[in-house]
Structure 1
Amino acid sequence: MGKKQPSTAKLKKVRRGFSKIDAGVKAKECIKISLVSSKEEVGYADSLRVNPVDLYSFFDGDGKIYGYQGLQITIWVSSISFHAYADITFESKSDRGKGITDLKAALQRIFAETLVENKHEFLQTFSTESNLIRSIISSGEILNYKTSNGNIADSNSHLKAANSDVEVVRMVVGTTAAGHLYSRLIPLVLLLVDGRIPIDVIDPRWELYVLIQKKTDRQDDIQCRLLGFTAIYRFYHYPDSSRLQLSQMLVLPPYQHQGYGGYLLEVINDVAVAEDVYDLTVERPLDYFQHVRSCVDVSRLFDFDPIEGAFIQAVSRLKRDILSKKIHIPRLMPPSSLIDDVRRSLKITKKQFIKCWEVLIYLGLDPIDEYMEDFVSVISNRVENHHILKRVIEVPSDYDQEMSFVTHRSPAGEGGIVQMGLNQTNLEEQLRQRQLVDKRVEGIKLIELAVFG
């Protein structure tokens, strides 16, 4: 007797039951973002590509898109009006166990009202909003970078590829014009600025410093192009001063690595000095920004006369002593009076000045190979003293023992007193500190190369 064959319907049901769950596609793998300055560049394969910091948080937290086969998303962002248009193509879409990602909602979380659904309408913005930047900055204050002697500096001496048509305009964010401009820039902040938390556009303590370039077109009309910007918050400082904190800085991708960021920072330094604020701080500086900042500040310190005597004394001491054979390695810190003078005159914070001070000492050592071991010992000593070891210890308490603790801080220079518990932990800590020292020394060498070639 022949064996009964299963029906076709049952086979399909079985196959469906064992169908593969949708693994999704990473947003960064199917999304391409390009910055374009004219409608002719839209659709052009070699348009300038923008590389986002990450896209994870905009797509269900895991950075994946579900429900699509052969998905490709090309997003064009106008550097004239900062509107965006998304060209979405796919072979098919279906729910394979993870749902279907709402692409429109996800993209609007990034671009909000700047996202234009109609391509024709997007192309029209290149002409209808060609004067957007010029009209917005007309209500702002034009700033000029000044040298230490008070004269207006030639911008060509500070930029690798800029002319005298570069300006910085300061705007109070609480005003309608500045708030409107920043709202257009929020998508770029979300995509390109690490940390990417937009500022409060109705708080008048925020100031927007806009870097623009003026060009004359064929009709002799002046066109303003935005090169970059920075957002500064003005804190109150007792009793009658203020502190400036740089929160966000972005130079648009086409203009990066051309000196514009350094120039913008120079202008902000000049504002801090001219307005006699307490100091200028930076909120969570990334490595590359810190490099640019240190290059700028080291150049300023070289022209600061009060630093010369203390600098020569520190370098002479390092050259004279064989530090690596000493039990107690001096930190070669600048005098407290000099730290205060640098803050008052140049508005450089103590922490930043100490970093620049190490660069100055390095530059004063000649030949550097002869003193390199001792210099590294000085850096290592500072890193070790800066690292504060903490531990949680049990103490008698009338409260819940699981909810009570005391933080113990070891005194500076006595880090060895706190036992880590395991030798492996100590070795890992030593390795981490050594890596910090190596990174710091390499950073100092890069600053020397950037400032003095």
Structure 2
Amino acid sequence: MTMDSLDIAGSAQQEFVTDSNEALEFKLVRCKEDLERDETTFKPEMSHQIFGETETIFGYKELSVKLYYSAARLSPYLGMSYTSKVDPKKAEGVQPDEVLKPVAEKLPQAFFTNLDDFVKALDKDASFRPYGELLHTFGPSLSSDGDGASPRTFEVYLATAETPGLREHHEALQTFLLWYIDAASFIDIDDDRWRFFVCFERYKTAEGETRYAVAGYTTVYEYYAYPCHVRPRISQMLVLPPFQKLGIGAEMLDIVYRHYKNNEKVVDITVEDPSENFTRLRDFVDCRNCAKLSCFQPLKLAQGFSPTMADDAKKELKMSSKQVRRVYEILRLRATNLSDKEEYRNFRLDVKKRLNMPYQKEDSDMKKLLKVLRPEELAVSVTGREQRIETLDRMYNQLEEEYKHVLERLAVL
């Protein structure tokens, strides 16, 4: 029984209620010393997909749930500790929540429950080599610690379900989605249209051995497009917390783009239900790429959106028409002198004209209906003028704020 179905009487039992996000402790372990280092620990962003909407665990004091992975092979260890456990006789018969079982159900069948065995198995990481085809090697755009440490090296590999090693590795890798992507679901790896872009850090041990650590991954599904084309759709992208804020997400997205760029069968590259963070990342990468095209230069942007922009971005970068228009607006905002009232006004009107298109269609549809029906026969509501203006202003202001976040990142290039 979970906290979602409990009404615990009395404050005395509240000391046995734990925030599951605080209780969970993750590590990507490279060596046994990492087990004692606080800096190697990271937390989940969410846990409701395992422990329910309240994200609480009942029945334990000072609960700690440890979910560790070897950095390369991702062999998991799962364990827990607590100082005391609730007595059902003193809690109106309520049993403590299951803790390890709901987590274990999402892990690969082979995982460690004994920490000593997990430590011994770390040696197997020494022989691990990334699977698939090496697509690109790069260094992070930001230093991880800012203290002049040695440059770091990352590699991105492309794999399919048929690639030796991918299936077992992905089984563990995908479990991170549950803690960092809302409404995440595991994919059907047996579908041969899936493509996996996996990022590893290549590093040297103190003894000079070359080793690898998983940094993140992206999955892409290659949809069929009539008559003989492909429409790749980015499904999932995750950069693991120890590797975030290094520019790796932008590099990975750009690598996906470059992989499909020269494929004549590819119509465009789309994204499945993007999060707010991914939308911002995508906008940044697309703006950076489009800014290199002649049709997106400031003088051309000031003349308004043109079919050439859509055609060139689709041809050169495999962008969808909708995304091209969004990128145009972001880059035009950057090229607009906000102190020039007329120039700024022209930009706002250009964006609002696009936002108003659904209302224009509504007007057109209403005119058609009025030709065949009397006003009293209409069972549809029409948005009033004042309401439209208010809605357009709100939508525009929200968009401008989103665009400015992207421009802040572009400004540091």
Which category describes the TM-score, using the shorter chain as reference length?
Answer: 0.7 to 0.9
Offset of residue 194 of structure 1: 3.0
Instruction: Give the corresponding residue for 2:159.
Output: 171
Tell me which amino acid in the other structure corresponds to 1:301.
C
1:403-433 alpha-carbon deviations (Å, 9 max, x no partner) = xxx996xxxxxxxx7147xx9xx76x86665
| Contact 2:203–2:212 (8 Å) recurs in 1 | yes
Instruction: Give the corresponding residue for 1:359.
Output: 330
Offset of residue 274 of structure 1: 2.2
| Contact 1:80–1:126 (8 Å) recurs in 2 | no
| Contact 1:81–1:129 (8 Å) recurs in 2 | yes
Q: Distance in 1 between matches of 2:168 and 2:69?
A: 17
Instruction: Give the corresponding residue for 2:96.
Output: 100
| Contact 2:108–2:172 (8 Å) recurs in 1 | no
Task: State percent identity of aligned pairs.
Answer: 19
The farther-off stretch of 199-208 and 110-119 is 110-119
Mapping 1:363-442, distance limit 5 Å? 363-366=334-337, 368-370=339-341, 371-386=343-358, 418-419=382-383, 433-442=392-401
| Contact 2:17–2:61 (8 Å) recurs in 1 | no
Q: Distance in 1 between matches of 2:300 and 2:10?
A: 76
Q: Distance in 2 between matches of 1:32 and 1:375?
A: 48
Instruction: Give the corresponding residue for 1:447.
Output: 406
Q: Distance in 1 between matches of 2:323 and 2:97?
A: 46
1:186-218 alpha-carbon deviations (Å, 9 max, x no partner) = 221111123311111211111110112222335
Find out whether 1:299 has 2:288 as its counterpart. Answer: yes
1:342 match: secondary structure: helix
Instruction: Give the corresponding residue for 2:116.
Output: 120
| Contact 2:40–2:242 (8 Å) recurs in 1 | no
Instruction: Give the corresponding residue for 2:258.
Output: 270
Instruction: Give the corresponding residue for 1:198.
Output: 186
2:215 match: secondary structure: strand
| Contact 2:254–2:285 (8 Å) recurs in 1 | yes
The farther-off stretch of 178-187 and 159-168 is 159-168
Offset of residue 39 of structure 1: 1.7
| Contact 2:73–2:169 (8 Å) recurs in 1 | no
Q: Distance in 2 between matches of 1:29 and 1:143?
A: 36
| Contact 2:196–2:218 (8 Å) recurs in 1 | yes
Q: Distance in 1 between matches of 2:64 and 2:112?
A: 18
Offset of residue 164 of structure 1: 8.0
The farther-off stretch of 251-260 and 88-97 is 88-97
Offset of residue 35 of structure 1: 1.9
Find out whether 1:88 has 2:75 as its counterpart. Answer: no
Q: Distance in 2 between matches of 1:356 and 1:63?
A: 38
- The 4+ residue runs of structure 1 with deviation greater than 6 A are 18-21, 387-390
Residue of 141, 145, 159 corresponding to 1:159: 141
Q: 1:227 to 1:94 in 2, by over 3 A?
A: same
Instruction: Give the corresponding residue for 2:222.
Output: 234
Find out whether 1:68 has 2:57 as its counterpart. Answer: no
Offset of residue 71 of structure 1: 3.2
Offset of residue 237 of structure 1: 1.3
Instruction: Give the corresponding residue for 2:23.
Output: 31
Instruction: Give the corresponding residue for 2:127.
Output: 131
The farther-off stretch of 58-67 and 251-260 is 58-67
**TM-score, structure 1 length as denominator?**
0.73
Find out whether 1:285 has 2:244 as its counterpart. Answer: no
2:134 match: secondary structure: strand
Instruction: Give the corresponding residue for 1:348.
Output: 319
1:112-136 alpha-carbon deviations (Å, 9 max, x no partner) = 436421111122232233433x1x4
1:201-251 alpha-carbon deviations (Å, 9 max, x no partner) = 211111110112222335543212222110111111112221111111111
How large is the Cα RMSD of the aligned pairs?
Answer: 3.3
1:111 match: secondary structure: coil
| Contact 2:59–2:96 (8 Å) recurs in 1 | yes
1:16-50 alpha-carbon deviations (Å, 9 max, x no partner) = xx877956625425513232333212143443322
The farther-off stretch of 246-255 and 298-307 is 298-307
Instruction: Give the corresponding residue for 1:246.
Output: 234
Offset of residue 62 of structure 1: 4.2
Structure 1 regions of 5+ residues with no counterpart?
A: 1-17, 146-154, 317-331, 391-405, 409-416
Residue of 44, 47, 59 corresponding to 2:51: 59
Q: Distance in 2 between matches of 1:124 and 1:76?
A: 14
1:329-372 alpha-carbon deviations (Å, 9 max, x no partner) = xxx4322x542332122101111101100022122223655333
Q: 1:87 to 1:46 in 2, by over 3 A?
A: farther
Q: 1:435 to 1:306 in 2, by over 3 A?
A: closer
| Contact 1:235–1:245 (8 Å) recurs in 2 | yes
Q: Distance in 1 between matches of 2:229 and 2:21?
A: 49
Q: 1:312 to 1:84 in 2, by over 3 A?
A: same
1:140-179 alpha-carbon deviations (Å, 9 max, x no partner) = 111138xxxxxxxxx45x7334958422110002445211
Q: Distance in 1 between matches of 2:98 and 2:335?
A: 60
Structure 2 regions of 5+ residues with no counterpart?
A: 1-8, 145-150, 363-377
The farther-off stretch of 279-288 and 363-372 is 363-372
Find out whether 1:225 has 2:210 as its counterpart. Answer: no
Q: Distance in 2 between matches of 1:355 and 1:175?
A: 37
1:81-100 alpha-carbon deviations (Å, 9 max, x no partner) = 32133232131233324433
Instruction: Give the corresponding residue for 2:373.
Output: none
| Contact 2:85–2:96 (8 Å) recurs in 1 | no
